Amino acid sequence: MITRLSKVLLVSVILFSCEPNLVDDPIPIVNFDDIVVNLSFPDFINKLNTVGGYKDVSNLGGGVRGIILYRLSATIFLAYEKNCSYTPNEACATVEVDGSGLFMIDPCCKSSFNLSNGLPTGGPAWRPLRQYRTQLNGNVLTITDEIID
């Protein structure tokens, strides 16, 4: 015979076991040489000359899986790690800018991220994307391997 206390305990166990798992592997850390981007070059001026512009600069090196640059304002650029923050050691945990250009997404786990702050907006990811320090000096943007918390 199941008592009232047994029922309460059983329901409690079921409810608490359905909590999201907020523990998974951290994004690996990779040191890299500073990346220098001349924003006046045609490849960059076409993509990063306006606020809200973005460019995948993975071909320049840096990051675990590459870096996406986003122009937040006239003087502020954000450099996002392309390694998804959810199960980052999975082979396909790579973020890209969605075809709409409005957000970033990991096509494997379906996590989506805000371009203006890197916070998760959908899917199983619960941590923001890693950001690297940027410094603008005239038309030259430098991306360092210093991680911004």
Q: What are the pLDDT digits (tens) for 14-61?
A: 444 444 455 578 888 999 999 999 999 998 988 999 999 999 999 999
3-state secondary structure labels for all residues of 15-58: HHHCCCCCCCCCCCCCCCCCEEEECCCHHHHHHHCCCCCEEECH
Q: pLDDT of 86-141, one tens digit each?
A: 999 999 999 999 999 999 999 999 999 999 999 999 999 999 999 999 999 999 99
pTM of the predicted structure, to 2 decimals: 0.83
Cβ neighbours around 69 below 10 Å, total = 24
Residue 22's Cβ-count burial label (10 Å; 0-12, 13-18, 19+) is exposed
Delimit the domains of the chain by residue range.
28-148
Amino acid code (one letter) for 117: N
Compute the distance between CA of residue 99 and CA of residue 45 in angstroms, rounded to an integer.
20
The fold for domain 28-148 equals Rieske Iron-sulfur Protein (2.102.10)
Residues 6+ apart with CB under 8 A from 7: none
